[in-house]
Amino acid sequence: MAMYHSRYFWQGEKIRLRGVRESDWEEWLDDFCDSDAIRLLSWGLELPPSPEMAKAAFAQWADFKDSKSRIMFTIETLDEKPVGGINIHSKDEKNGTFSFGIRINRNHRRKGYGSEALRILLRYGFYELRFQKCNSGCVHINEGSIWLHKSVGFVEEGRQRRTIYTNGQYYDHILFGLTREEFDENEVAYKTEKGCDGWFCGKKAILAKCGKGEFASLPQVEVRKVGNPSI
């Protein structure tokens, strides 16, 4: 089993992100059987993939081989069990924007894996790749995705009515946006609630002493809680 330091950037309390491996195709193909989730994720049903198709796709994504269009990660538990995937796409270097895609295996949802993985990915996009805004969206009946977006600070920027057609019905497309500054604020609230010891958020180093209620140079930020099970 791989050993990682507690300060490892790509690791959270429950999961870590790693590069896609060719062997990850089996977990993905197994999860493809969840047609209801596929409708919400892909806004419709896709043709059934074969093992050969899945193997070819993961061979292309493995070890960040094709990272110009998408930066693909596997989400795994701390005991190295794959539970889903997440990626950065739609990278616009001129305007400093990007988007993301995320999938959590049906057997591992509502455990907080998705929100932790997304927070790590956003830190990478904002603090390492120097993007200034993340654009995203989801179908309006995807309550889990709506909660996930709002939990890390996304703001609903609009709604395109009757834009998505699947399962014999039309659905609205909700548009979300998150600026670097909005994520900075959400990170402060998140770390304040967690009471973590020594961390970096945005342009300022925030030093904290756990359990003693003593915070140095900590901005006063309202901690927002959303009463919905975590993804």
**The two structure tokens encoding residue 134:** 């993340």
Distance, in Å, from the CA atom of 111 to the CA atom of 200, rounded to the nearest integer, reads: 26
The verdict on pTM exceeding 0.85 is no
pLDDT of residue 196: 62
pLDDT tens for the chain, 231 residues: list them: 455 556 899 999 999 999 999 999 999 998 888 888 888 888 899 899 899 999 999 999 999 988 889 999 999 999 999 999 999 999 999 999 999 999 999 999 999 999 999 999 999 999 999 999 999 999 999 999 999 999 999 999 999 999 999 999 999 999 999 999 999 999 999 999 887 644 444 434 333 333 333 333 333 333 333 334 334
Q: Which of 223, 143, 133 is nearest to 176 (CA)?
A: 133
The helix/strand count (H/E) of the chain reads as 6, 10
Domains of the chain: 15-216 (3.40.630.30)
Listed in order, strand segments (DSSP E) in 79-203 are: 82-92, 97-104, 133-139, 155-166, 169-179, 199-201
pLDDT of residue 134: 98
Quick check: 105 and 26 in contact, CB under 8 A?
Answer: no
Q: Which of 165, 67, 66, 184 is nearest to 127 (CA)?
A: 184
